[in-house]
C-alpha cells in the first residue's frame, strides 16, 4: 500500500516518469478505448482463419466420426490427448501467477495476472473442445456426469481417473473464470465511468454495479485471498489428475508414480512459456513496456529454468527407474522411446525442454526480449512433443509385436490442432480489445511503493543509503524502458 515500505534494492515494477493514477488508467485503456491498430487486425484475421479451420475440422470429425483421425487399433490416443494435455498444461501458468504468487506476495504478478488468467481460461476452453470431440459421440458427453438415467440409474464409476478428470477440469475452469471475473469488476467499472452511450450501458451491465466503496474493497481483497488459497491446491490437483489418466493404467511408460509432480512441473513450464509468447508481443504492440518490464520477463524466465530443470530431472529419473526396475516391458518402453522409430520426437523433446532453456542461466539472454520470445516458442514445441512421446511411443508397440504400428496424423488431426491455436489466439485478441489486459487497480497499488519514480524520489531526497541507491541504479541497466536515465546517473 501507500504506506507500505519496500527495500530500495528491489527492482522497480513500474517504470517511466510522471506516472500518475490517471496515466495508468489511460495507458492501459488505450487498446480498449480506441480503434485497433493494423498489427491487431492482421493477428486477428490470421487467428480467425485458424478458428474457421477448427470449426471445419471439428465439424468434419462430428459428422464422419473419429475414424477420420489417424488413430488405429494399437494407437487409440494420439494427437487428441496430446493436444488436450498440452492446452491444460498451458492453462496452469495463469492460475500459478494469480494464485500462488499472490500467496507468496510477489508483487510482480500484479501487472501480468490479468492476461495470464485470461490465457488460462482460453487454454482450458481449447482443452475441453478436445475432450468433447474425442468422445466420438459428443452429444452424449453428459454421460460422464453423475446424472439420474433410465439404465437403472447406472452411475458413473467414481473409481475412474477419467471421471476425476471431468470433475477436475470443470471445477478448474469455473473457479478460474470466477476468480478472473471478480478481479475484473473494478477495472470494468473504470471503463464504464469513462465511457458514454452504448459502451457505458454494456460495461455497466458487466460491472455488476461496482462502486469501489470501502467495504467492497475490503471484502474483495479477502475473496481474492481465499480464492487464491483454494486455487493453489486446485491447480496442482488438476494436472495431477490429468497425469493419473495415464499413471493409473498398466501401460509401460505410463504406470509410474513420478507422473503427478512431473506433469505439474511440466505444466507450469509450458504455461510460463506461453505467457512469455503472448506478453512479449502484447507489451510491444500495446506499448505496455512501463508495466510489463524486463524484470517481469526475467522473473518468468527464472521460473522457466527452474521448472525446465525439474522436468529434465524427471526425464532422467524415468530412464533410471525403467532400467533399475528390472521390468523388461518398462525397460523396452524407454529404450524404444530413446532409440526406436520415434527417437526424433524424443530428442526434440529433450532438446527443447531440457537443453535449450539452460541458456537462460546467462543473464544477457534472459533479459533479452528477442531471446525470451524465441525460447518460449521452443519450449512450447518441446512440451507438445513431450505429451506426444509419452502417449504415442508407449502405445505404438504394445505386448503383441504383430500389432506394432506407427501413428500418422490425418489432415483432420492437423487441422484440429492448428485450428485450436487459432481459437486460442482469436479469443485472446478479442480479450485485448474489450477488457483491460493489465489489472489497473492492482498496478495503481504499486505506484507509490514499487515504481521507479517513487524510488528515484527517495534517492533524490537522500532517504536511502548511498551504496544501496547505487546498487539500485545499477540494476536498472537491463531495463529497456529506462536506459537513458542510467547514463545520466553515471555522469553525475
Give residues 204-223 in contact with another protein (rule: CB under 8 A).
204-223
Cell matching residue 365: 539472454
Q: What is the 3-state secondary structure (H, E, C) of 77-91?
A: CCHHHHHHHHHHHHH
Under rule CB under 8 A, which residues in 427-456 are in contact with another protein?
440-442, 444-445, 448
Residues 6+ apart with CB under 8 A from 412: 57, 60, 61, 68, 69
Nearer to another protein, 311 or 435 (CB): 435
Q: Exposure pattern of 421-441 as b/e (b: 16+ CB <10 Å)?
A: bbbbbbbbbebbeebbbbbbb
Fill in the per-residue mask, 384 to 423: x = in contact with another protein (CB under 8 A), - = not in contact: ----------------------------------------
Nearer to another protein, 38 or 215 (CB): 215
Minimum CB–partner distance for residue 53 and another protein (Å):
33
Nearer to another protein, 245 or 413 (CB): 245
- Binding range to another protein, per CB under 8 A, among 115-123, 197-205, 304-312, 382-390: 197-205
Under rule CB under 8 A, which residues in 164-193 are in contact with another protein?
164, 167-168, 171, 174-175, 178-179, 182, 185-186, 189-190, 192-193
Helices 452-460, 466-475: inter-axial angle, 10-degree rounding: 150
Fill in the per-residue mask, 458 to 477: x = in contact with another protein (CB under 8 A), - = not in contact: --------------------
Minimum CB–partner distance for residue 9 and another protein (Å):
23
Nearer to another protein, 243 or 301 (CB): 243
- Residue carrying the nine cell digits 479469443: 427
Residue count at the site for another protein (CB under 8 A)?
71
Minimum CB–partner distance for residue 482 and another protein (Å):
23
Contact 173, 123 (CB under 8 A): no
Reduced to 3 states (helix: H, G, I; strand: E, B; else coil), residue 397 is coil
Minimum CB–partner distance for residue 476 and another protein (Å):
25
Contact 414, 384 (CB under 8 A): no
Under rule CB under 8 A, which residues in 222-241 are in contact with another protein?
222-223, 226-227, 230-231, 233-234, 237, 241
Contact 149, 120 (CB under 8 A): no
Cell matching residue 367: 533479459
Reduced to 3 states (helix: H, G, I; strand: E, B; else coil), residue 14 is strand
- Alpha-carbon dihedral sign for residues 203, 208, 213, 214: negative
Residues 6+ apart with CB under 8 A from 385: 345, 346, 348, 349, 352
Nearer to another protein, 214 or 466 (CB): 214
- Closest listed residue to residue 262, CA positions, set 278, 280, 240, 245: 240
Minimum CB–partner distance for residue 80 and another protein (Å):
22
Under rule CB under 8 A, which residues in 2-61 are in contact with another protein?
2-4, 20-22, 25
Minimum CB–partner distance for residue 322 and another protein (Å):
26
Q: What is the 3-state secondary structure (H, E, C) of 238-279?
A: HHHHHHHHHHCCCCCCCCCCCHHHHHHHHHHHHHHHHHHHHH
Nearer to another protein, 92 or 396 (CB): 92
List residues bridging with 14 in a β-sheet.
451
Contact 47, 425 (CB under 8 A): yes
Minimum CB–partner distance for residue 166 and another protein (Å):
9
Nearer to another protein, 216 or 331 (CB): 216
- Closest listed residue to residue 257, CA positions, set 273, 274, 272, 244: 244
How crowded is residue 373: how many other Cβ atoms within 10 Å of its Cβ? Answer: 17
Minimum CB–partner distance for residue 248 and another protein (Å):
9
Nearer to another protein, 231 or 270 (CB): 231
Nearer to another protein, 55 or 205 (CB): 205
Question: Which of 40, 46, 194, 365 touches another protein by CB under 8 A?
Answer: 194
Nearer to another protein, 141 or 343 (CB): 141
The separation between CA 74 and the C-alpha centre of its own chain, rounded to angstroms, equals 32
Minimum CB–partner distance for residue 275 and another protein (Å):
23
Peptide bond into 126 cis (omega under 30): no
Under rule CB under 8 A, which residues in 343-372 are in contact with another protein?
none
Minimum CB–partner distance for residue 117 and another protein (Å):
14
Minimum CB–partner distance for residue 131 and another protein (Å):
16
Nearer to another protein, 136 or 233 (CB): 233
End-to-end CA distance of the chain: 32
Under rule CB under 8 A, which residues in 108-167 are in contact with another protein?
146, 152-159, 161, 163-164, 167
Under rule CB under 8 A, which residues in 241-300 are in contact with another protein?
241, 244
Cell matching residue 182: 471478480
Minimum CB–partner distance for residue 326 and another protein (Å):
26
Under rule CB under 8 A, which residues in 324-343 are in contact with another protein?
none
d(CA 63, CA 77): 20
Nearer to another protein, 76 or 233 (CB): 233
Amino acid at each position: 500500500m501507500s504506506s507500505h515500505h519496500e527495500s530500495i534494492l528491489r527492482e522497480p515494477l513500474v517504470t517511466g516518469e510522471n506516472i500518475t493514477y490517471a496515466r495508468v488508467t489511460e495507458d492501459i485503456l488505450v487498446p480498449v478505448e480506441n480503434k485497433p491498430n493494423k498489427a491487431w487486425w492482421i493477428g486477428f484475421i490470421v487467428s480467425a482463419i485458424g478458428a474457421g479451420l477448427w470449426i471445419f475440422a471439428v465439424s468434419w470429425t462430428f459428422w464422419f466420426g473419429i475414424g477420420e483421425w489417424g488413430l488405429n487399433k494399437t494407437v487409440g490416443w494420439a494427437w487428441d490427448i496430446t493436444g488436450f494435455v498440452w492446452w491444460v498444461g498451458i492453462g496452469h501458468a495463469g492460475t500459478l501467477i494469480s494464485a500462488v504468487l499472490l500467496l507468496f506476495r510477489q508483487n510482480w504478478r500484479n501487472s501480468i495476472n490479468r492476461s495470464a488468467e485470461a490465457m488460462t481460461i482460453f487454454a482450458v476452453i481449447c482443452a475441453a473442445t478436445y475432450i468433447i470431440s474425442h468422445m466420438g459421440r459428443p452429444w452424449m458427453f453428459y454421460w460422464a456426469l453423475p446424472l439420474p438415467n433410465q439404465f437403472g440409474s447406472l452411475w458413473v464409476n467414481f473409481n475412474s481417473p477419467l471421471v476425476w478428470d471431468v470433475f477436475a477440469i470443470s471445477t478448474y475452469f469455473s473457479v478460474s473464470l470466477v476468480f478472473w471475473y471478480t478481479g475484473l469488476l473494478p477495472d470494468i467499472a473504470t471503463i464504464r465511468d469513462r465511457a458514454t452511450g452504448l459502451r457505458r450501458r454494456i460495461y455497466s451491465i458487466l460491472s455488476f454495479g461496482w462502486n469501489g466503496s470501502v467495504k467492497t474493497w475490503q471484502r474483495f481483497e479477502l475473496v481474492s485471498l481465499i480464492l487464491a488459497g483454494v486455487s493453489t491446491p486446485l491447480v496442482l490437483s488438476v494436472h495431477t489428475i490429468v497425469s493419473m489418466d495415464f499413471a493409473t493404467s498398466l501401460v509401460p511408460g505410463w504406470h509410474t508414480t513420478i507422473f503427478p509432480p512431473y506433469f505439474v512441473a511440466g505444466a507450469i513450464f509450458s504455461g510460463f512459456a506461453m505467457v512469455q509468447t503472448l506478453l512479449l508481443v502484447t507489451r510491444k504492440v500495446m506499448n505496455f513496456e512501463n508495466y510489463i518490464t524486463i524484470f517481469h520477463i526475467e522473473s518468468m524466465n527464472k521460473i522457466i529454468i527452474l521448472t525446465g530443470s525439474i522436468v529434465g530431472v524427471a526425464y532422467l529419473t524415468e530412464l533410471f527407474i525403467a532400467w533399475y526396475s528390472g521390468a523388461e516391458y518398462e525397460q523396452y518402453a524407454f529404450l524404444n522411446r530413446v532409440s526406436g522409430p520415434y527417437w526424433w520426437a524424443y530428442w526434440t523433446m529433450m532438446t527443447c525442454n531440457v537443453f535449450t532453456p539452460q541458456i537462460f542461466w546467462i543473464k544477457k539472454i534472459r533479459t533479452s526480449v528477442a531471446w525470451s520470445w524465441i525460447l518460449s516458442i521452443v519450449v512450447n514445441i518441446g512440451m507438445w512433443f513431450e505429451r506426444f512421446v509419452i502417449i504415442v511411443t508407449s502405445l505404438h508397440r504394445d505386448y503383441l509385436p504383430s500389432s506394432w504400428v506407427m501413428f500418422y496424423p490425418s489432415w483432420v488431426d492437423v487441422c484440429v490442432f492448428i485450428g485450436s491455436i487459432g481459437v486460442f489466439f482469436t479469443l485472446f485478441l478479442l480479450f485485448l480489445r474489450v477488457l483491460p489486459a493489465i489489472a489497473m487497480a492492482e498496478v495503481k497499488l504499486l505506484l507509490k511503493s514499487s515504481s521507479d519514480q517513487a524510488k528515484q524520489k527517495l534517492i533524490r531526497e537522500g532517504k536511502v543509503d548511498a551504496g544501496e541507491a547505487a546498487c539500485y541504479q545499477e540494476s536498472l541497466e537491463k531495463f529497456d524502458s529506462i536506459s537513458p536515465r542510467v547514463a545520466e546517473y553515471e555522469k553525475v
